[in-house]
Chain A
Amino acid sequence: MVGIVNYGAGNIFSLTAALDRVGVQYGMINNEDEFDHYERIIIPGVGHAGAAMDKLKNSGLAERIVTLRKPVLGICVGMQLLTSYSEEGDADLLGIVPLKTLHFYKRIDEKVPHMGWNSVSPQNGCVLFQGIPDNSYFYFVHSYFIESDDTYTSARCNYGINFSASIQKDNFFGVQFHPEKSGKAGEQLLLNFSRMVIS
């Protein structure tokens, strides 16, 4: 079963609908003890990273997340929370992955937000992308991005600049796009995560 961290940052209807479509069972994590009920954990998130971090801290769930040894998947702002810092709200985040979340504005000439379908190149056979062809398109909506990094970037995307479409450190995974809105490729990625075993 997949546990969804329920800390009030955005609507999760689309995520649960996608899990239903691919036949993955899930439940909500509302307090620290409920982490024990699930083998895999998803941290959703839309909106403002600084505000999301405040909500996560206030929910009392942040401290437990950093100690988890199960597979964890952050989606969009939920992924950004795994990094050390975001320019959005000048906020310190969970610091699990030692990267920064930066604003596109002033760094690229393209339109912001980066909205729509963009192609993604997985690096070094990232397990999240098993069975998904290289350069498949995923749906993005975001104004902040995680810098591209040789160690922690597990899939790259380009929008005026190379950035992390996905990151990984040990059992922690994050995707900047919305797998729940990314057609069949996104559904496959959710299925891959739901079957993932960390050895």
Chain B
Amino acid sequence: MLAKRIIPCLDVKDGRTVKGVNFVDLRDAGDPVELAWQYSEQGADELVFLDITATYEGRKTTIELVKAVARQVNIPFTIGGGINELRDAEVLLNSGADKISINSAAVRNPSLIDQLAKAFGRQFVVVAVDTRLVDGQNFVHLRGGRDKTEIQTENWIKEAEERGAGEILLTSMDHDGTKNGFDSALLKRVNDRIQIPLIASGGAGSQQHFVDVFQQANVDAALAASVFHYGEILVPELKDTLRKNGIVVR
């Protein structure tokens, strides 16, 4: 049976992880390659690197990082941030990235999804969506949730699927950072409407939150950052808990 995936997310700036990490046995907590390797050894199913570097020099560093991860880590990984055109994606593909994640660039230029899917296959294209509730309705937000758009989240996700997205990474900005659990209600509504994998993001604070989102929304994967980085949740223990709750994991 297809397993539910657990995905640690690393924020990277100029080739270094930004948020602190609290891992034992880590020589250099800021080295994303070492961290990635550690997660893969613990049984993480996939990794996401969000590159928050905008400068040209920073982008070159990112490409070196992608190559180093591809060389040393034996699980799939996605890289997101700063991908605005086909050429950006192609460089990352040729450096060993399994998938790319696009967010604002896709909202500004939706045909980018079509172009990427056509050029590299839809399995390569993750569309990341940041959503926030405004007057009872979910709207797509940009710049990490700061800028509201007029686009309704569920409509945008449907459009992204139709244009060729291979997967949706949905982050609830209302839940992100609260550690009160994922937005299972929204995730379920979205999941019922799409035929491509859905990754839940935003709100993870406990192992039970992962159990809840898989049981309530039947998402394909759940992503979190700080609870993993600070060692509050260890991947092997999380997987044991999921197994005990009848959820199929690797």
Q: Which residues does A use to contact B, with CB under 8 Å?
A: 11, 13-14, 17-18, 20-21, 46-48, 110-119, 137, 139, 141-143, 158-159, 178, 180-184, 186-187
Residue of A nearest to B99 (CB): A141
Asked if residues A111 and B197 are in contact (CB atoms below 8 Å), the reply is yes
B98 to A: closest C-beta gap in Å: 7
- Contact of B1 (CB < 8 Å), options: A11, A47, A119, A180: A119
Given A47-B121, A115-B123, A115-B167, the answer on whether A139 and B1 have CB atoms closer than 8 Å is no
> Please, which residues of chain B bring their CB within 8 A of the CB of A11?
93-94, 96
Is B40 a contact partner of A183 (Cβ separation < 8 A)? yes
Taking CB atoms, residues of chain A closer than 8 Å to B220 are 111, 115-116
A49–chain B nearest beta-carbon distance, Å: 12
Query: CA of A47 to CA of B93 in the docked complex: distance in angstroms?
Result: 13
Chain B interface size, under 10 / 10 to 19 / 20 to 34 / 35 or more: 20 to 34
Distance, CA A187 to CA B74, complexed state (A): 8
User: Contacting A158 at CB < 8 Å: which of B1, B70, B93, B94?
Assistant: B1
Give min CB distance, B58 to chain A, whole Å: 21
Residues of chain A lying within 8 A (CB to CB) of residue B142: none
* Chain B interface (Cβ < 8 Å from any Cβ of A): 1-3, 5, 40, 45, 67, 70-72, 74-76, 93-96, 98, 120-123, 166-167, 195-197, 220-221, 250
Residues of A within 8 A of B195 (CB): 111-112
Please tell me if the beta carbons of B95 and A186 are within 8 angstroms of each other in the complex: no
Contact of B121 among A13, A46, A158, A159 (CB under 8 A): A46
Task: Determine if A116 and B96 form an interchain contact, defined as CB atoms under 8 angstroms apart.
Answer: no
Q: In angstroms, how far is the closest chain A Cβ from the Cβ of B79? A: 13
Q: Given the interface contacts A112-B195, A115-B123, A187-B74, does A181 sit within 8 Å of B98 by beta carbon?
A: yes
Contact (Cβ within 8 A) B74 A181? yes
